[in-house]
Chain A
Amino acid sequence: MAGVRLEHVYKRYPGSTEASVTDFHLDIQDKEFVVLVGPSGCGKSTTLRMVAGLEEISEGNLYIGDRLVNDVAPKDRDIAMVFQSYALYPHMSVYQNMAFGLKLRKVPKDEIDARVREAGKILGIEHLLERKPKALSGGQRQRVALGRAIVRQPQLFLMDEPLSNLDAKLRVHMRSEITKLAKRLETTVIYVTHDQTEAMTMGDRMVIMKDGFIQQADTPEECYNHPLNTFVAGFVGSPAMNFMHGTLAEVGGDVRFQTQNVDVVIPEGKAKVIRDKGYVGKEVIFGVRPEQIHQEPVFLEAYPTSVVTAHVEVSENLGHEMILYLDGIGNTTMIARVDGRAGIKEGQTIKLGFDMNKIHIFDKSTEKNIFIG
């Protein structure tokens, strides 16, 4: 196994004025599971394709282990790829599907047999080895595709949306299977997805991209708790973080965030940063996650300076939780996630409190989190 280092990598296509990937700089440790995530067109698949060697690198260096591989042919990079369209070889059995790549590399028969059976065992498909792909379910086919990659014992696994073709239930199941598999094989994985839940649950680290730029590369916890900018804050977490435009004001020794029907006190630790960085009196973007908005009376009593009044437009009861769509707060519809037993109905006017220790303030022009850096 090996780490991967991308040094200030750019991808420019002929005839295009802007780079598709800009200054991508990342050190991936040996045995690390890194997820590249972002919306369509953010450059995540292009980056993966550069690592695979399917796209040339316009500028910068790519190392797999200690080897500079910019000019190394894809087949000589010692990687295995699993893509969304995992097209199994329909005329071959599962065994032959997994053995084919090894046969081409002239691996001895005994070793091929041992590797295929071992992979079959790991993936729980040893009883299917003689079957043809058409006799397999979606999940079993996906396992065979993984098996084809595993038997190669590569230094690095590249996966591009490998679960997209599966239904929702199977996707959740396979997500944990792949994570377990990566840990068991102690292998380095670069995984591409547009699905932030997949990124959050699978990656040791997630690299969030937008318009070809890395927005943040960190553990899922850090990206969730300390997003560097509004894009990351809005991308990570479901439902997404709520944003409000408003002003920070110094009133009676407190720093307060004020906007339409909102006047809440910022805790002292955060207020100090606001004062030190000169944001008092300035317009900012206030961010609070739906799960950090509370309706419990005990919370409202304990934190009266964080309370707002809202009108419930829509209330969705999911059993264990309720999703409330609220208006009357700030200049936008806000979403709150509260306890499923709260019994809140559409059309009600209710009081809610923000967990002010977990709120975020972003610079209005740069959209960067002012509490970081």
Chain B
Amino acid sequence: MMKWETLRERLSRTLHTPFTLERFPKAEWPRMKTEKVPLRSYVDGTKLYFWLSEMETHMEVLVTEVNQLSDREQELVFWILQENGCSPQSSHSAVSQLTQLLTQQFQNGDRAEKSIPKEIYKALHLPQMAIPIWIQPRSELSLNQDELQRILESFIEGKSLVANVASYGCLLVVAVDALDLDADESERISLMNFSSAIQGMLVSELGVEVDVSAQLPILVESQLLSSVYALRQTLLVGRQFYPQSFIHMPWDLHVEHLLTQIPQSFVDEFVKSLGEYVSNEEDEEMQVTIAAFFATNCNVSETAKRLFIHRNTLLYRLDRFKQETGYDIRNFQDAVFIRILMLLDKVTKTNS
């Protein structure tokens, strides 16, 4: 316990809050008996316990009164403890090993085309086929990792695995039957609805906004690591092109994915030579109109409805666009060109 004394003293002094060092019965620490990652902190009555280290029969914990710390201060303590090597992630459960694999993968920028090691896969007790969902908070500060994990576990009602990958985000592996797929609905729509539900639920229950991307069922053992890599990429691309949206599905972002592969210098040249009107920020009304037109599959009535304008007003705007640019986006070829031009323009703005 001596090695934690300096840390305890500094935290007490900095946060003006008394902390004590104690031993906590190992078996009573939440999730110690399961394969899931034990909690980083634990509230019992008025006391708040922070995990320091795991001994043979007990845990070393840092204790304070629960009402002494705000959520942000708690997050700060977690971060300080993590920096000092105190994290339940270091336990040798299968989930924490998977978490470590993912963390390494993210740190190395590795595409991870490999399978999960057999012994870890077996210990995870996952079905052969499952749905991976990647959840990434918009603001790291506001996230209480343990609470996120607890809520997600309740939401899926045990038919899943939740792996919290530190500051990167959270992986949910859901059994296919948990989605309660509707025969009348495609898997993609079901998955989209489920992802939206997760996003909405976390806003309501935790006050945290997250981006979510999900994949159709995969073979867990051989495809999970590469799927997580792909989902993170999808989420990054989705955020780059559609920052207002929280749900990013791989099948909706094929073109955007391709466009991110084009060298920026080429994009700059291209947009500059052709896209002066499209990139004109001052004509926001036209930008919004065109975006809505594309979002409704170039359907005039639907676009007018979505923009709360009269159909004739929309037609007038489209005609004006044609007059000013020479492109009629009711024509398929022109629509494709303008769509790509607008996406490239978005990438340029995001990158700059």
Q: Which residues of A contact B (CB under 8 A)?
A: 40-41, 52-54, 71-77, 80-81, 83, 85-91, 100-101, 103-104, 132, 134, 148, 194-195
Q: Is the CB of B179 within 8 A of A90?
A: yes
How many Å lie between the Cα of A76 and that of B70 in the bound state?
10
Q: Is the CB of B200 within 8 A of A54?
A: no
Binds A, one of B13-21, B188-196, B224-232, B339-347: B188-196
25 A-B pairs (CB sep. < 8 Å): A40-B288, A52-B207, A53-B207, A54-B207, A71-B70, A73-B71, A74-B206, A74-B207, A75-B207, A76-B71, A77-B207, A80-B204, A81-B203, A81-B204, A85-B196, A87-B193, A87-B197, A87-B200, A90-B190, A91-B178, A100-B205, A104-B154, A134-B184, A194-B308, A195-B308
Beyond A75-B205, A85-B196, 14 extra complex contacts between A and B, CB < 8 Å? A52-B207, A53-B207, A54-B207, A73-B70, A73-B72, A73-B207, A74-B208, A87-B200, A89-B155, A90-B197, A100-B155, A101-B204, A103-B154, A134-B182
Interface size class of B (residues with CB under 8 A): 20 to 34
User: A54-B209, A87-B199, A194-B308 are contacts. A148–B204 as well, Cβ < 8 Å?
Assistant: yes
A132 touches which of B180, B206, B209, B288 (Cβ 8 Å): B180
Instruction: Note all chain A residues with C-beta closer than 8 A to B196.
Output: 85, 87
Query: 6 smallest A-B Cβ distances: which pairs?
Result: A74-B207, A87-B196, A87-B200, A73-B71, A91-B180, A75-B207
How many Å lie between the Cα of A222 and that of B200 in the bound state?
36
Q: Is B201 an interface residue (CB 8 A)?
A: yes
Using CB atoms, name the residue of chain B closest to A89: B197
B41 to chain A, nearest CB (A): 15
Name A's interface SS: loop
A210 to chain B, nearest CB (A): 15
Using CB atoms, name the residue of chain B closest to A73: B71
How many Å lie between the Cα of A86 and that of B203 in the bound state?
11
By CB atoms of chain B within 10 A, which of A72, A75, A134, A194 has the most? A75
A83 to chain B, nearest CB (A): 7
Instruction: Note all chain B residues with C-beta closer than 8 A to A86.
Output: 200
Instruction: Note all chain B residues with C-beta closer than 8 A to A52.
Output: 207
Using CB atoms, name the residue of chain A closest to B147: A75
Instruction: Note all chain A residues with C-beta closer than 8 A to B72.
Output: 71, 73
Instruction: Note all chain B residues with C-beta closer than 8 A to A88.
Output: 197
A297 to chain B, nearest CB (A): 33
Using CB atoms, name the residue of chain A closest to B156: A91
Q: Quick one: which of B38-97 are within 8 Å of A by CB?
A: 70-72
Instruction: Note all chain B residues with C-beta closer than 8 A to A104.
Output: 151, 154, 205
Q: Quick one: which of B244-286 are within 8 Å of A by CB?
A: 284
Q: Is B119 an interface residue (CB 8 A)?
A: no
A77 to chain B, nearest CB (A): 8
Q: Is B185 an interface residue (CB 8 A)?
A: yes
Instruction: Note all chain A residues with C-beta closer than 8 A to B207.
Output: 52-54, 73-75, 77
How many Å lie between the Cα of A347 and that of B182 in the bound state?
58
Using CB atoms, name the residue of chain B closest to A152: B204
How many Å lie between the Cα of A72 and that of B73 in the bound state?
12
Instruction: Note all chain B residues with C-beta closer than 8 A to A81.
Output: 203-204
A75 touches which of B184, B201, B206, B308 (Cβ 8 Å): B206
B194 touches which of A77, A80, A90, A194 (Cβ 8 Å): A90
Instruction: Note all chain A residues with C-beta closer than 8 A to B70.
Output: 71-73
A52 to chain B, nearest CB (A): 7
B205 touches which of A72, A101, A132, A134 (Cβ 8 Å): A101
Q: Is B142 an interface residue (CB 8 A)?
A: yes
Q: Is the CB of A90 within 8 A of B201?
A: no
Instruction: Note all chain A residues with C-beta closer than 8 A to B206.
Output: 74-75
How many Å lie between the Cα of A197 and that of B12 in the bound state?
56
B94 to chain A, nearest CB (A): 25
B118 to chain A, nearest CB (A): 31
Instruction: Note all chain A residues with C-beta closer than 8 A to B201.
Output: 87, 89, 100
How many Å lie between the Cα of A219 and that of B288 in the bound state?
32
How many Å lie between the Cα of A87 and that of B197 in the bound state?
5
Q: Quick one: which of B197-244 are within 8 Å of A by CB?
A: 197, 199-201, 203-209
How many Å lie between the Cα of A88 and that of B180 in the bound state?
13
How many Å lie between the Cα of A81 and that of B206 in the bound state?
12
User: A90-B197, A91-B178, A134-B185 are contacts. A54–B203 as well, Cβ < 8 Å?
Assistant: yes
A78 to chain B, nearest CB (A): 11
B163 to chain A, nearest CB (A): 20
How many Å lie between the Cα of A40 and that of B287 in the bound state?
13
